[in-house]
């Protein structure tokens, strides 16, 4: 297991093809995709394609989302971390912080805990100057997490026909 960094409760490691079943469980849940365009995956092949995209990020940019692994149980909880993003905000490229958890793990502070560690990794190890993030305006939990991470809301923008809040934080 290639651990990138860790928190008190979790290891964050590179995502690999062996995570495909966990990715499928995560992204086939309609509740997980409520604020993500309401397009959960239907096949495990779609999950494998998502993992291939992450692996491509690692190769091209040296960073991508990280698998969240529970230290006690070794269970895959979801993913968190920073990636180089060019598709959500088409007006410029940026480093994006994000997180996605299996529903059974919502409300336990995991996204905040791993988000804090991800920002630290981004600023201290990757030496990034700025990290951004976005959340659907109705996704109260995700907006709250970005605020807890110390990020500042700077604007509201449209993505896929829905309003999203935009957040930034500087080193």
CATH of the domain at 58: 3.40.630.30
3-class DSSP string for 100-164: EECHHHCCCCHHHHHHHHHHHHHHHHCCCCEEEEEEECCCHHHHHHHHHCCCEEEEEEEECCEEE
The pLDDT assigned to 33 comes to: 84
Mind listing the pLDDT tens digit for each residue in 56-81?
Answer: 999 999 999 999 999 999 999 999 99
Phi, psi of 105 (to 5 degrees): -110, 5
Report the number of distinct structural domains present in the chain: 1
What's the predicted TM-score (pTM) here? 0.94
The pLDDT assigned to 161 comes to: 86
Mind listing the pLDDT tens digit for each residue in 70-114?
Answer: 999 999 999 999 999 988 888 889 999 999 999 999 999 999 999
Q: Which domain holds residue 87?
A: 3-170
Helix 20-27 and helix 44-61, axial crossing angle in degrees, nearest 10:
110
Count helices and strands in the chain by DSSP H and E runs: 4, 8
Mind listing the pLDDT tens digit for each residue in 142-169?
Answer: 999 999 999 999 999 998 889 999 999 9
Question: Burial code of 9-29, b = ≥16 C-beta within 10 A, e = fewer?
Answer: bbbbbbbeeebbebbbbbbbb
């Amino acid at each position: 297991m290639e651990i990138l960094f860790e928190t008190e409760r979790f290891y964050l490691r590179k995502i690999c093809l062996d995570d495909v079943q966990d990715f499928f469980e995560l992204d086939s849940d309609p509740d997980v995709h409520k604020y993500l365009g309401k397009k959960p995956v239907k096949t495990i092949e779609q999950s494998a394609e998502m993992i291939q995209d992450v692996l491509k990020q690692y190769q091209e940019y040296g960073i991508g989302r990280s698998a969240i692994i529970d230290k006690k149980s070794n269970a895959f909880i979801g993913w968190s971390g920073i990636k180089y993003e060019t598709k959500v905000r088409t007006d410029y490229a940026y480093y994006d912080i994000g997180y996605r958890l299996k529903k059974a793990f919502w409300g336990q502070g995991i996204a905040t805990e791993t988000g804090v560690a991800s920002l630290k990794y981004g600023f201290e190890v990757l030496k990034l100057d700025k990290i951004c993030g976005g959340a659907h305006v109705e996704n109260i939990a995700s907006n709250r997490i970005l605020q807890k991470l110390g990020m500042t809301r700077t604007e509201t923008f449209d993505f896929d026909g829905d309003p999203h809040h935009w957040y930034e934080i500087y080193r």
